[in-house]
Amino acid sequence: MSNFINPKEVFGESFLLESKMAENLYFGYAKEMPIIDYHNHLEPDVISNNQNFRSPTAIWLDGDHYKWRAMRNFGIDEQFISGKTSDFEKFQKWAEVLPNTLRNPLFHWTHLELKNPFGIQEYLSPKNADSIYHQMDECLQMADFLPQSIIRNFKVTTLCTTDDPADDLAYHKALKNSGFETAVLPAFRPDVYINIINPEHYLSGIKKLENVCGVTIESASDLLNALQSRIHYFAYAGAKVADHGFEYFPDTTLWNQNLETEFADFLKGNTKSFSKPEALCGYLLKELCKMYHEKDWVQQFHVGATRNNNSDMLRKIGINAGYDAIGEQYFAQRMSVLLDELNSSAKLTKTIIYNLNPNYNEVLASLAGNFNEAGIKSKVQFGAAWWFLDQLDGMKKQMNTLSNIGLISTFVGMLTDSRSLLSFSRHDYFRRLLCNMFGSEMERGLLPNDEEWVGKIIQDICYNNAKNYFEF
């Protein structure tokens, strides 16, 4: 294979930069900006313990449901995906699949991850799988590839994990006390306590919350008091963000005294089920939003997913395994009712709405613009392209929608939403696309030919807006 690297290819310096102006914006303004990753699913114990990864598979393939889906699409047996075969065999199967992911974002992401931090600039295939595996494995034994070193490499100043309210946050505290220069902050994710999907599992979660709070939860009021105590606990540990994921957005107007009584009976074990889970979810969500406002937190709503579609695989390997999809539930009107009620009572905190169904991009972007406040830039944000949409086309659509209906200049930028430390390269992917979009329109005369003017907005989107919005 030739050592020549086309500067426009994924390993090249000008990847995704299709004009001289795009290159000027990227190299002059975007590339060296630090990263704030304000929503991800990284494991704080891995960061805190700061130990070498056992293998390339551990850091690259374990739990990565994006790669898992591609492998299943290619017909790879599950034993080589989530099963108990060796790490090397799993890596070999991924190398077999990757050359066939052309035009899937995984092809770009995978090779960006090889380039940074591993310095590998070869397209992975079965021919070089053995060599690349061992190159990666050698790197992972070095101090420069410990979890905290990888975070430093990507110049991450702040990252927010996603945490159960019952978590003791011991690893976050240890990181804060360790002197690690990146702020690793918890984010409050109470979904399991406000959504009754399986009554038995729900009550098991309530028991866990009771144990950590040292209380008995026998009513909705008790539950809210327990969650509020955990909000105080999270805030003391540095949290500034709450997060919610919805398959449907609940009706927040249904709760009444009869349901209050029924829910108390359910918690006490007098009934085996609760008749109106949506009403409970809506009521608890609204009250939690008021608590977030008291703390001046940012609340995040993820909408548009339908989860765990394959019940057979759910039983076999559990949730977050690559069996989710874009949903078709309509949710804007209910969200509007909640936002309006909170706003009318001066209880609406800063809010980010992430949409997974592109049919609703314009709907939600226009909804976000109804609830602004003096002194806060885009108080309610139409958030970054999420999950199935965080690829070139999806990111373009999200940013074009935001530009057309709101102000992209106030956008808080990209996040990884990932379980992998290598996914910080997606910030670079986003920044290259962002600079290319602006640079192209500058060259066409649609935007001013003023690098300093436009470059300032690029830097704001890459870093400054998030820093100011979240008040990190």
Rounded Cα distance, 181 and 8, in Å? 34
pLDDT at residue 1 in the model: 45
For 335-369, what is the HEC assignment? HHHHHHHHHHCCCCCEEEEEECCHHHHHHHHHHHC
Q: Which of 54, 62, 59, 60 is nearest to 141 (CA)?
A: 54
Whether 210 and 226 have beta carbons less than 8 Å apart is answered as yes
Q: Residue 467 to residues 35, 76, 188, 237, 240: CA-CA distances in angstroms?
A: 10, 42, 19, 18, 12
Per-residue pLDDT tens for 341-375?
999 999 999 999 999 999 999 999 999 999 999 99
pLDDT at residue 321 in the model: 86
Contacts of 367 (CB under 8 A, 6+ apart): 332, 335, 336, 339, 353, 380
Rounded Cα distance, 385 and 252, in Å? 26
Question: Beta strands 305-306 and 35-37: pairing type?
Answer: unpaired
Report DSSP state, residue 312.
H
- Identify the residue whose tokens are 């590339």: 31
pLDDT at residue 140 in the model: 98
Distance of CA 266 to the CA centre of its chain: 33
Q: Which of 137, 143, 146 is nearest to 55 (CA)?
A: 137
Q: Which residues of the chain have pLDDT under 70?
A: 1-3
pLDDT at residue 2 in the model: 53
